[in-house]
């Protein structure tokens, strides 16, 4: 015999839980949940973010199942690129590090507005996450203009107590012909 409590799924681990930070709820997280709930098949918000990022050409991470048939990504007016980056870094989001790689790929690629990203970063309180990503990315390419902007905008954010991602998760090896080891690394863009 099962009790009612047996039917309650365990709570999902959030990014904030792993990092020891508070989980702020925000209008952006509410909007992402609303948009995801309105998509065919009502995917989890994190899956919806992956589908949306893939539709915008960010291909470093693919979902385990394809986007549902009839999936239409949101327009830039519904969710701009800076909000997509922030949505992938939300502390209230599920702890799925691969989603952070999509945010990193978008930043490495460029084409986002620094002032708008700074504003969204402050509103969503994701400075520690973006700072950690910037520090990892700058290990690979210390001169990358976009990542230097992100590090500067998040300079006042508290550093994380533990690593967010290993720097190799934001880069790909550059192989020399006929050599088994990487000759260098470049950011995935």
In order, the DSSP letters of 128-146 are HHHHHHHHHHHHH-TT-HH
What is the per-residue pLDDT for 163? 85
Q: What is the pLDDT of residue 5?
A: 44
Q: What is the pLDDT of residue 4?
A: 41
SS3 state at 184:
strand
* The pLDDT of residue 11: 56
Q: Are strands 171-175 and 182-187 parallel, antiparallel or unpaired?
A: antiparallel
pTM of the model: 0.87
User: CB within 8 A of 10, min separation 6: which ones?
Assistant: none
Over the chain (189 residues), the average pLDDT of each successive run of 10 is 44 81 85 92 90 93 79 93 96 91 96 96 95 97 97 94 90 88 88
């Amino acid at each position: 015999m099962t009790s009612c409590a047996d039917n309650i799924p365990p709570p999902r681990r959030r990014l904030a839980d792993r990092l020891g930070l508070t989980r702020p709820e925000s209008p952006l997280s509410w909007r992402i949940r609303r948009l995801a709930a309105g998509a065919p098949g009502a995917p989890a918000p994190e899956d919806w973010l992956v589908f949306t990022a893939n539709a915008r050409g960010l291909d470093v991470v693919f979902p385990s199942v394809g986007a549902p048939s009839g999936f239409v990504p949101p327009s830039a007016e519904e969710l701009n690129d800076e909000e997509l980056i922030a949505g992938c870094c939300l502390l209230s989001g599920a702890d799925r590090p691969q989603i952070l790689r999509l945010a990193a790929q978008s930043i490495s690629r460029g084409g986002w507005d620094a002032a708008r990203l700074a504003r969204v970063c402050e509103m969503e309180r994701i400075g520690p996450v973006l700072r950690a990503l910037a520090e990892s990315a700058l290990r690979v390419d210390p001169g990358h203009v976009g990542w230097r902007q992100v590090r500067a905008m998040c300079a006042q954010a508290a550093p994380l107590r533990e690593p967010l991602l290993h720097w190799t998760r934001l880069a790909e090896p550059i192989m020399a012909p006929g050599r088994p080891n990487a000759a260098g690394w470049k950011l995935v863009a």
